[in-house]
């Protein structure tokens, strides 16, 4: 069985379609949240994924868009996320898609192809907001303990739950960083970001699990087409340039200190 794991599309439909075309023979698809914000095609992304799979999560940007709260993202992108969300995302999202997002959870457990997954947008200890990064190896032991006592379907993980769960894979998104880390007998997998890479590789990132073997993948897509759609968004020109920079470079290149000096 071939399982496609994707996350953090952020309204970039061109990138999503490139991944789906590349892996059109996948038997199952898992989506780890953040359909919206930053990108120009939030409805198209939601429509595609909701038809494709029943294994989807809500991300912090999705949650902010439908509940009117802060996304609590990093300072480098915070103002950009607020502007795109208030001036574009929440205005164009259909009511049907808003209700779809509200039905999703930030953490779920699924059995797919004989493998048991704990899937969370952020991290087992904080399903919606915590950034789990591959270089921060000290965090994984605590997250492994949180995973074993996870409360799937909950907005927050109020462990312990009285049971010790056994999972084959812990799937996480949110940090836009690909990694595969084994800790305490658990395999932590982050597929990276489909639509907003931030590691200076301007390609759509994703992961495959095929017969239990994990592959971290990337695919090129039409970044120029995405940038043309960004130009149509009703946001400041400076914000458009920042969004296009991330798409074309695979990372931001602006100095947060200079912005606020």
Q: Which of 41-55, 75-89, 139-153 has the lowest mean pLDDT?
A: 139-153
Query: Residue 261 pLDDT > 50, yes or no?
Result: no
What is the pLDDT of the chain when averaged over all its residues?
A: 94
Q: What is the predicted pLDDT for the residue at 162?
A: 62
For 100, the domain range is: 2-259
Q: Beta partners for 126? A: 123
What are residue 217's DSSP bridge partners? 206
Q: What percent of the chain has pLDDT over 70?
A: 96
Q: Which pLDDT tens digit goes with each residue over 216-253?
A: 999 999 999 999 999 999 999 999 999 999 999 999 98
| Global model pTM greater than 0.85 | yes
Confidence of residue 189 (pLDDT cuts 50, 70, 90): very high
pLDDT given for residue 258 in this prediction: 43
Banded model confidence at residue 161, pLDDT cuts 50, 70, 90: low
Q: What is the CATH number of the domain that holds 224?
A: 3.60.21.10
The 3-class secondary structure across the chain, one letter per residue, is: CEEEEECCCCCCHHHHHHHHHHCCCCCEEEECCCCCCCCCCHHHHHHHHHHHCCCECCCHHHHHHHHCCCCCCCHHHHHHHHHHHHHHHHHHCCHHHHHHHHHCCCEEEEEECCEEEEEECCECCECCCCCCCCCCCHHHHHHHHHHHCCCCCCCCCCCCCCCCCCCCEEEECCCCCEEEEEECCEEEEEECCCCCCCCCCCCEEEEEEECCEEEEEEECCCHHHHHHHHHCCCCCHHHHHHHHHHHHHCCCCCCHHHHCC
Number of folded domains in the chain? Answer: 1
What is the rounded distance in angstroms from the CA atom of residue 30 to the CA atom of residue 150?
Answer: 19
Lowest mean pLDDT among 124-138, 145-159, 197-211: 145-159
- Per-residue model confidence (pLDDT) at position 164: 75
Segment among 11-15, 47-51, 114-118, 137-141 with least mean pLDDT = 137-141
């Amino acid at each position: 069985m071939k399982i496609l794991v994707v996350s953090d599309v952020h309204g970039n439909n061109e990138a999503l379609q490139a991944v789906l075309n590349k892996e059109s023979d996948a038997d199952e698809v898992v989506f780890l949240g953040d359909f919206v914000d930053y990108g120009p095609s939030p409805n198209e992304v939601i429509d595609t994924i909701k038809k494709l799979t029943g294994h989807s999560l809500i991300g912090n940007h999705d949650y902010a868009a439908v509940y009117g709260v802060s996304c609590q993202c990093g300072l480098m992108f915070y103002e950009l996320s607020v502007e795109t969300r208030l001036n574009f995302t929440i205005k164009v999202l259909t009511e049907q898609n808003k209700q779809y997002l509200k039905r999703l959870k930030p953490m779920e457990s699924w059995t797919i192809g004989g493998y048991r997954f704990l899937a969370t947008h952020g991290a087992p200890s904080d399903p919606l907001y915590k950034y789990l990064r591959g270089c921060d190896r000290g965090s994984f032991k605590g997250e492994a303990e949180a995973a074993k006592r996870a409360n799937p379907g909950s907005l927050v993980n109020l462990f312990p739950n009285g049971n010790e769960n056994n999972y084959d894979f812990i799937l996480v998104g949110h940090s836009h960083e690909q990694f595969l880390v084994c800790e305490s007998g658990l395999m932590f997998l982050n597929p990276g970001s489909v639509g907003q890479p931030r590691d200076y590789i301007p390609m759509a990132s994703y992961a495959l699990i095929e017969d239990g073997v994990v592959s971290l993948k990337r695919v090129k897509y039409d970044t120029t087409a995405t940038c043309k759609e960004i130009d149509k968004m009703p946001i400041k020109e400076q914000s458009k340039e920042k969004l296009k920079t991330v798409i074309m470079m695979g990372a931001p290149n602006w100095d947060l200190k200079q912005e606020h000096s």
